[in-house]
């Protein structure tokens, strides 16, 4: 994350608030108010609180950090966290754990800055079973966190290690920082293991460059190569990831996961300056040989057609990712601040690369197995073509639509499937649809412009994602103040924060104009309230 550029570019109210917070922090050098080990209690009853997505107990959250799975199978999510205010600043690493990526337990703060002028910025975590770091006298479960320590003068990379599966960390005071290039725009290290050495990707944020460094022990880092000026530039590059993901074919049921084959993907988040404004993530499928990454083609591809999916990170050694569901343009102003918290994470996603023919290789982001929270099926309709299927829900709702078309289908001039979330007794609604035919065929769109809970000059309200062929499956989750739609198992994904002034509790799924012989099946599920 960047505090400096956000001041220059974000909307005045949020920027001034966070500037005030940072100036207050700059004026003293006392120890942090909220040291590591502090437990933060949360009130999860607010009307805008997501029930199935992660959000922090209170205060302000941004980038996911340090994600790994411990040897007990527990998923660890750390995150950029201001525990003392509802705007960015005073950056700590918050921490939560989960057995299934949906039921989260808040843990005490994992990392705190050494004093109030410093910030623990984004980074990653690895398992060190071979004790390459030498930190672990008595365990093969060692965890090492690699993060940026931000001070007014520098951004340097530091280590902290854990003997207890990532619940508590010791900072490597005798050796930190382990990487310092003398820059104040050098951050967000993401580390992976490649055959016989560690590899870090890191952003030279204001030089449009991702540096690749290697190390035998996580302590001594050698510059290996740069990836510069690729795809979209925006104003700064942040939060790179290099991950090996399986390759699947266009039938998502056939993904090669077990043979160790895979494609590398480099993700680069950019902010500000996304095509839709503010922050977004682009990605590059390609090959990696231990020191150099080579993109497969010159295309810039975005991982989301909405505005609210940034700084996504892959779990260490797992092709599973989570993003930050917000946008720096308005994140410091969103109305969840009235409930004492700001920002949620995206749904967890299982990723693979698909050969999309002439369009090249594409990242597919499936919703990670939802079955642990699919508690109550509200509707099932196997004959939903040209009809409407409706359900009432209270918390979060999931819908799943399969479409089987006849060979060589011809569509009416307007043909599609819409999903409308409404409040009883008001005229507010959230509208989204997949269009098979019409002004933009084979496209999915979200319109959050009919909700009354938030106004902001950059809170754009209409989004469109397109693909080249007719959808076979459309899934979506509406979760109080967050909506996500996934087409064809995550080939096209739209994530949008939404702010109704009263809770939306009714879903209508309608379809029309589908050709004779088309079959549409719809299921609607109430999701478990994971915070109850």
Ligand X SMILES: *[C@@H]1O[C@H](CO)[C@@H](O)[C@H](O)[C@H]1NC(C)=O
Using CB under 6 A as the binding rule, the residues of this chain from 227 to 286 that contact ligand X are 249, 254
Where does this chain touch ligand X (CB under 6 A) — which range of 54-62, 287-295, 348-356, 362-370? 287-295
Using CB under 6 A as the binding rule, the residues of this chain from 472 to 501 that contact ligand X are 473
CB-nearer residue toward ligand X: 65 or 148: 148
Q: Residue 224 CB, nearest distance to ligand X (Å)?
A: 9
Distance CA 343, CA 329 (A): 13
Residue 43 annotated to the active site: no
**Per-residue mark of binding to ligand X, 439-478 (x: CB under 6 A):** ----------------------------------x-----
CB-nearer residue toward ligand X: 22 or 385: 385
116-155 in b/e burial notation, b at 16+ Cβ within 10 A?
Answer: bbbbbbbbbbbbbeeebbebbeebebbbbbbbbbbeeebb
Residue 418 found at the interface with ligand X (CB under 6 A): yes
What does the DSSP 8-state code read for residue 33? Answer: S
CB-nearer residue toward ligand X: 43 or 173: 173
Using CB under 6 A as the binding rule, the residues of this chain from 357 to 396 that contact ligand X are 385-386, 388
Distance CA 212, CA 83 (A): 32
Q: Residue 72 CB, nearest distance to ligand X (Å)?
A: 4
CB-nearer residue toward ligand X: 275 or 517: 517
SS3 126: strand
- The length of the chain in residues reads 532
Residue 219 found at the interface with ligand X (CB under 6 A): no
Closest CA to 497 of 337, 354, 353: 337
Distance CA 417, CA 457 (A): 30
Using CB under 6 A as the binding rule, the residues of this chain from 174 to 213 that contact ligand X are 193, 204, 207, 209, 211
Distance CA 461, CA 452 (A): 12
Residue 136 found at the interface with ligand X (CB under 6 A): yes
CB-nearer residue toward ligand X: 184 or 226: 226
User: Under rule CB under 6 A, how many of the chain's residues touch ligand X?
Assistant: 51
Q: Residue 194 CB, nearest distance to ligand X (Å)?
A: 9
323-346 in b/e burial notation, b at 16+ Cβ within 10 A?
Answer: bbbbbbbbbbbbbbbebebbbbbb
Distance CA 112, CA 145 (A): 13
Closest CA to 305 of 434, 169, 164, 130: 434
CB-nearer residue toward ligand X: 338 or 404: 404
Q: Where are the beta strands (DSSP E) in 205-308?
A: 209-215, 222-228, 237-245, 247-248, 255-256, 263-270, 280-288, 293-295, 301-302
Distance CA 111, CA 274 (A): 30
Task: Name the catalytic one among 63, 308, 309, 488.
Answer: 63
Q: Residue 90 CB, nearest distance to ligand X (Å)?
A: 13
Please give the residue ranges that form the binding site for ligand X (CB under 6 A): 29, 72, 114-115, 117-118, 129-132, 134, 136-138, 149, 151, 163-165, 193, 204, 207, 209, 211, 226, 249, 254, 289-292, 385-386, 388, 400, 402, 412, 418, 420, 431, 473, 510-514, 516, 518, 521-523
Query: Which residues are tagged catalytic?
Result: 63
């Amino acid at each position: 994350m960047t505090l400096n550029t956000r001041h220059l570019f974000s909307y005045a109210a949020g920027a001034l608030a966070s500037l005030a917070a940072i100036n207050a922090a700059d004026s003293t050098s006392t120890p942090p108010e909220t040291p590591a080990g502090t437990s933060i209690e949360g009130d999860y009853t607010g009307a805008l609180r997501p029930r199935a997505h992660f959000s922090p107990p209170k205060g302000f959250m941004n980038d996911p950090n340090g994600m790994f799975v411990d040897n007990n199978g527990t998923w660890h999510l750390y995150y950029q966290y201001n525990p003392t205010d509802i705007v960015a600043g005073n950056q700590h690493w918050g921490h939560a754990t989960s057995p299934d990526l949906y039921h989260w337990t808040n843990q005490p703060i994992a990392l705190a800055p050494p004093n109030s002028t410093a910030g623990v910025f984004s980074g990653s975590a690895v398992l060190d079973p071979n004790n390459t770091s030498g930190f672990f006298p008595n365990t093969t479960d060692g965890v090492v966190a690699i993060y940026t320590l931000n001070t007014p003068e520098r951004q340097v990379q530091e280590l902290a290690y854990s003997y207890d599966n990532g619940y508590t960390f010791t900072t490597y005071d005798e050796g930190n920082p382990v990487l310092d290039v003398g820059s104040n725009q050098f951050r967000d290290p993401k580390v992976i293991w490649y055959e016989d050495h560690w590899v870090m990707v890191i952003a030279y944020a204001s030089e449009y460059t991702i540096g690749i460094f290697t190390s035998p022990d996580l302590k001594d880092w050698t510059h290996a190569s740069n990836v510069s000026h690729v795809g979209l530039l925006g104003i700064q590059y942040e939060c790179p990831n290099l991950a090996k993901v399986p390759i699947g074919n266009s039938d998502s049921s056939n993904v090669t996961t077990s043979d160790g084959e895979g494609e590398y993907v480099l993700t680069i988040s950019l902010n500000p300056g996304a095509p839709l404004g503010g922050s977004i993530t682009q990605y590059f499928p390609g090959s990696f040989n231990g020191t150099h990454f080579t993109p497969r083609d010159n295309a810039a591809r975005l991982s989301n057609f909405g505005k609210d999916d940034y700084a996504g990170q892959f779990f260490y050694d797992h092709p599973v990712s989570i993003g930050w569901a917000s946008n720096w343009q308005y994140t410091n102003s969103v109305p969840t601040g009235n409930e004492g918290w700001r920002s949620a994470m995206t749904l967890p996603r299982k990723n693979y690369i698909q050969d999309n023919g002439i369009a090249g290789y594409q990242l597919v982001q499936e919703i990670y197995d939802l079955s642990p929270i699919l508690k109550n099926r509200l509707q099932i309709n196997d004959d939903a073509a040209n009809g409407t299927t409706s359900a009432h829900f209270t918390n979060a709702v999931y819908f799943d639509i399969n479409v089987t078309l006849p060979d060589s289908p011809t569509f009416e001039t307007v043909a599609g499937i819409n999903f409308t979330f409404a409040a009883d007794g008001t005229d507010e609604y959230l509208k989204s649809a997949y269009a098979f035919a019409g002004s933009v065929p084979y496209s999915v769109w979200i319109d959050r412009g009919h909700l009354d809970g938030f106004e902001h000059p950059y809170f754009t309200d209409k989004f469109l994602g397109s693909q080249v062929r007719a959808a076979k499956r459309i899934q979506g989750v509406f979760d109080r103040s967050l909506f996500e739609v996934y087409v064809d198992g995550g080939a096209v994904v739209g994530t949008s924060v939404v702010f109704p002034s009263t809770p939306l509790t009714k879903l209508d799924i309608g379809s029309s104009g589908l050709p004779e012989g088309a079959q549409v099946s719809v299921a609607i599920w109430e999701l478990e309230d994971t915070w109850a």
